[in-house]
Chains A and B, each alone.
Chain A
Amino acid sequence: MNFFQILSEIEKVDPEVYERLDSRRRVFKHMSGVGQKLAAAALPMFVGSVLNKAYAQTNSGLAVQDVLNFALKLEYLEMYFYQQRTGLQNISVNNMAALATIASDELNHVNFLKTAIGGISGAVVFSDPTVNAYDFSGGKGTGAGPFSDWKSNPATYLALAESLEDTGVRAYKGAAPLTSVMANKTVLTAALNIHSIEARHASHIRAMRRAGASNNTPSQGVPASPYDAKPKSWISGTDNGGAAAMYTAPVYGAGNDTGTATYGASNQTGSAAGVTFVAESNITQGGVALSSTTLPNTANFPASAFSEAFDEGLDVGTVSAIAKTFVVAGNTMFG
């Protein structure tokens, strides 16, 4: 069956697609209640904006083209990040080549998603924001954020890379069970097939970090607890908050279960659908608390193995708040 024909059919059931894509109108809707939300919210850097939280609550519907546009935004972010690797100093030949491979993959993902969305009748493809939309120093356009040496210092660059890849991997998992995605087998399978490539990227980035950027045989690097500076290729607990815990903790923390997104054919929300966004340290899966009591053959296994064996998903709102950290002030692509 024609992939784009399938997408066109799905589009027919969501006539409000234009409203959903108008983020400015949505922002004005949620200006009321700002005071309450400011008081209630803890605001570490990555989860900054009240408006992000408001936007996160209004992810009802999430038609397939909305989900694909969100994925496209994340892929653009990664694409432009990897495109700017060329000034890195003291990085091994193999590691530079790996970054080039990843850059090529992200470009391919962008191109695929543009085509896929373009094939949906009436859908508006998210426009190329250009490289100028981003400030990977975390400075919102000043270039002077906490990661200000990201273009030249490979340790900083790889710290960002790990954070971005781990975020993207969580995002795809959060999106797969959405009603509109599960209803479209072609899109679901494509999303899974992009997701696993991103997880491979994440694994390799972590290898490069634990071995050190100048090391030419990253597979031989040895991790070191608490796995923030020298991580395993998989997330262990919360990796002590990640590569730069003060800023990256939200990448490994819990998300937001109170959104209105629906999952599966029964259009259930959150926990009713079995979809909850918990921290990466989670060791309860499908209602089963994992331990040597519930899994008898795991006696003497290290406690960390139970959280490592499963990655976690993340909701659109929380991912948006993290991604927004690297977008220049005033750009509303992530709310």
Chain B
Amino acid sequence: MSTNLPLGTPPPVAAIDRPLYTPIKRRSFFMYAGATAGATALVLAGCSKSDETPGLVNVGSGDAGVLNYAYALEQLEAAFYTKLRSGSYYMGLGSTSAEKLILDDLYYHEVIHRDFLNAAIVAAKATPIKSLEVDFSGINFNDRASVLGTAKAFEDLGVAAYNGAGQYITNPGYLFIAGKIVSVEARHAAIIRDLVMENTFVGTDIAGSNSQEISKSPSTVVATANTFLANGSKLDVSGIM
């Protein structure tokens, strides 16, 4: 929403928007004064990020919102494990090799997770978010390190995400399901990490000195997830926190 304010006056900033506020500098003011484009820029300066980037996918609120959040992350993982199958790293793996068997299972599991969550959201009489468009331009699917490094990032992120979302679920059946899924994601994460480097199934990057997973809030998770989602498919999780 727009709040037309005198220039140079900091708008009242809600905590959630605070990092996004950028004061307009004097020079910019003169650029904007009297210019139509500038007027638009001024309007936008007072607005939330959702308004600046129309086309954020809002996961909703309540338990359905959390399920849609999980559905979004599983879409991302499923798309990744699907796409890697046509890259030369995967295609070059021996048909009975450990790595091929693992990547096959991860593909099956994540597609099952994704499609299950869609069905669960429908069964809950809620509306699943749309099919997301991914952005894997930063991944080299012909390179083992790039593929496994990304797999590791996605799996660790998924575990941190499920663990951080549990507290927002009110229905015990949904929490139980989330636990069943994250249990498998953690098994995934461990073996992928071991493939990258033996014995890194746990590590200080994902667990604190108390040997507990470092769970992440939905907003922290989507800050990362959104870097792998195209414009128009980036997530807004403000409704579930």
Contacts and interface: CB of A to CB of B under 8 A. Distances in A.
Contacts of B209: 108
Interface string B102-121: 10010011011111100110
A233 B120 contact: no
B180 A285 contact: yes
A34 interface: no
Contacts of B101: 222-223, 232
Contacts of B188: 203, 233-234
Contact of B202 (A101, A185, A195, A234): A101
Given A98-B201, A173-B179, A201-B201, A309 B113 contact: yes
Contacts of B167: 185, 188-189
Interface residues of B, number: 59
Nearest to A211: B98
B186 A199 contact: yes
Given A189-B166, A203-B190, A264 B171 contact: yes
A192 B179 contact: yes
Contact of A264 (B172, B177, B185, B201): B172
B206 to A, nearest CB: 8
Interface of B: 96-99, 101-102, 105, 108-109, 111-116, 119-120, 123, 159, 162-164, 166-167, 170-177, 179-191, 194-195, 198-199, 201-202, 207, 209-215
Interface string A281-316: 000011110100011111001100110111111000
A295 B186 CA distance: 23
> DSSP class of B's interface residues: helix, strand, loop or mixed?
helix
A305 B184 CA distance: 12
Contact of B190 (A94, A199, A301): A199
Interface residues of A, number: 72
Given A105-B211, A274-B177, 14 more contacts: A101-B202, A190-B212, A193-B213, A196-B159, A197-B186, A197-B202, A217-B198, A222-B98, A286-B120, A286-B123, A298-B108, A306-B112, A311-B184, A312-B180
A195 B215 contact: no
Contact of A197 (B119, B175, B185, B212): B212
Contacts, number: 227
A273 B115 CA distance: 23
Nearest to A102: B202
A288 B120 contact: yes
24 contacts: A94-B198, A105-B202, A112-B211, A173-B183, A176-B176, A177-B179, A182-B172, A192-B166, A197-B211, A203-B187, A218-B194, A220-B98, A223-B101, A263-B176, A274-B171, A274-B176, A285-B177, A290-B116, A296-B115, A297-B115, A301-B108, A305-B108, A309-B108, A309-B113
Contacts of B180: 173, 285, 310-313
Interface of A: 94, 97-98, 101, 104-106, 108-109, 111-112, 169, 172-173, 176-177, 182, 185, 188-190, 192-197, 199-204, 207, 216-223, 232-234, 263-265, 268, 273-275, 285-288, 290, 294-298, 301-302, 305-306, 308-313
Nearest to A186: B167
> DSSP class of A's interface residues: helix, strand, loop or mixed?
helix
B68 to A, nearest CB: 15
Nearest to B193: A200
B103 to A, nearest CB: 13
Given A189-B164, A195-B183, A219 B194 contact: yes
A234 B209 CA distance: 26
B112 A169 contact: no
Contacts of B177: 274, 285-286, 310
